[in-house]
Amino acid sequence: MLKKWWHNTVGYQIYPKSFQDTNQDGIGDLCGVIRRLDEIAQLGANVIWLCPVFTSPMVDNGYDISDYMGIDPSFGTMDDMKELIARADEKGIKILMDLVVNHSSDRHEWFQKALQDPCGEYGKYYVFREGKDGNPPNNWRSIFGGSAWERVEGRDNLYYLHIFTKEQPDLNWENPKLRGEIYEIITKWMDMGLGGFRLDAISHLKKNYSYVNLPPDGPDGYKLAFEYINNVDGLSEILREMKERTFLPTDALTIGEYDQMRPEEVEAVIGENGNFCSVFDFSHTFHDVNGEKWKGNTRALFNDYRDKLFQAQRVVGGRGMLCNFLENHDKPRCIDRFLAAADQNRYSIRMLPVTNFFFPGIVFLYQGQEIGMRNYPKVRLEEYVDKPTYAIYDRLLMQGKSPEEALEELNHASREHGRTPMQWNGEKNGGFSEAEPWFAVNPNYTWLNYEAQKEDPDSLLNFYKRMVAVRRRADLEETFIYGEFLPRYEKEDGILAYERKDEKNRVLVLTSARSETAELPFEGKVGEILLDNYAVGEKDGTGTAEETYGELTGSGNRLIVKPFQCLVLKLG
């Protein structure tokens, strides 16, 4: 594998609206990101993924862009953006912007012109079709619920496609002129010094426009026709053109939101000459210990989580780099998602991030993950603010759930849990803003906050810092980036373990979801304990193997693993 500048990425995702407010309007802003660059650098991150800050009516919190070359006033100005890029670069941090080009906002100038003349130049930038028998062109369901087609006002039988909300009309990527406009926008941003882009919903650019009704998959009569709107034949050609026209000449880091990557596609998607540098590993994104499948059984979930992660690595097989993560803006908080309430303790919440942090590929943390921010269940539906949340609630009612049951499910699974404001200190609104925040701060900010953990050597925050430092240690970094990936103890209940190995190092990463001590067969010698969630504070990674080896091994070549322990061991 040819070495690239981005191969050592330890990324930090920021949801700007909830990160840090500096102008006291209750909304986070770019100046807030600038203010907190030192904290991000101290964590050890070298790439920031910035969720959308483009001009937007905010129907989908910025994922509905009305001007690709503008900064939304709620976040600041273009000068603020340029300053952020420059100040981050001084600290060795590259900025990735979140690019949304499957669709635009319905307020975008292109779409407004398209509505005036759907058969004209800008009408061809979108997907307009005639309805059938007084109905939409077909019975596709939007990902956010309801028909994927919206009737054009004033035209009885004309509809436009939107696979997300009706305010997010899909762009027509069959149109070379539209593609050229997007490529020009990308190039202009790269010229400003960006490190690259995270590409939202990028596997949806190509559609299979077969206008036949499909067997409904719900009582609403619609069908979520994923096979017609995701990873459709011909997508790779579009992505290849985009790469060659924009990303390749600028040496950009590109991370695609590209689910359902088939084994035969790996090299074309993330290989040496693939369309992206990396894509997110979605293998764990449907895991929720509170869901019907797991019913609070942490260990059963953990076994399946392990098997899915290992399978994803086997599919890639060293041909490219996945992006490994536990949290993002579209998911509940990982502690509440992976660990049943009875299993949440100081050891388990440190064990969890270690599970995939040393995998091949690049890694991303999400704001607040490093201090262990939690879900914030609501008493009333009206306390949620995200439009898709209400669509999910309606769908749950349609499926026969009571209002109480539907709210309970949202309280476990809503993506809005990842969007509560960052908890910086124990002061008003967690130090996020002096004004009323756009979304309520979790009341636990009084004790769960960055400032409270900063000076505590035994805090979760400082454990994350040590974990990042191990991955980026000069004598180990290349092993973690390019070394072999060798699963270990695959059949051991509640154990997720693997080796990273090259000609210089052998490192065993072992995590346990067991609530009792485990004794595992072990051959060899521990050269150095790099990380141990049972060590206190500064003892992590500093003790010699001789000092603590007796705690790790018993007689008969065994490894003694304590409840919810994680160990990163350099083997002799």
**Would you name the residues annotated as active-site residues?**
200, 257
Burial class (CB in 10 A: 0-12, 13-18, 19+), 226: middle
- Cα separation, 550 vs 334, in Å, equals 33
- Cα separation, 495 vs 520, in Å, equals 10
88-104 b/e with 16+ CB inside 10 Å = b?
Answer: beeeebbbbbbbbbbbb
- Cα separation, 531 vs 535, in Å, equals 8
Question: 403-413 vs 387-398: helix axis angle to the nearest 10?
Answer: 130
Structure tokens that stand for 202 in this block: 């990028």
Angle 465-469-471 from CA coordinates, rounded to 5°: 120
Pure H helices in 317-386: 334-338, 348-357
Is 312 in contact with 262 (CB distance < 8 Å)? no
Is 110 in contact with 170 (CB distance < 8 Å)? no
227: left (phi over 0), alpha (psi -120 to 50) or beta: alpha
DSSP state of 441: P
- Cα separation, 351 vs 345, in Å, equals 10
- Cα separation, 220 vs 160, in Å, equals 20
Structure tokens that stand for 78 in this block: 């273009």
DSSP state of 436: P
Neighbours of 458 (CB within 10 A): 14
- Cα separation, 429 vs 406, in Å, equals 28
Q: Concatenated DSSP letters for 167-213?
A: TSPBB-TT-HHHHHHHHHHHHHHHHTT--EEEEETGGGSS-------
- Cα separation, 21 vs 421, in Å, equals 9
Q: What is the distance of C-alpha 16 from the center of its chain?
A: 14
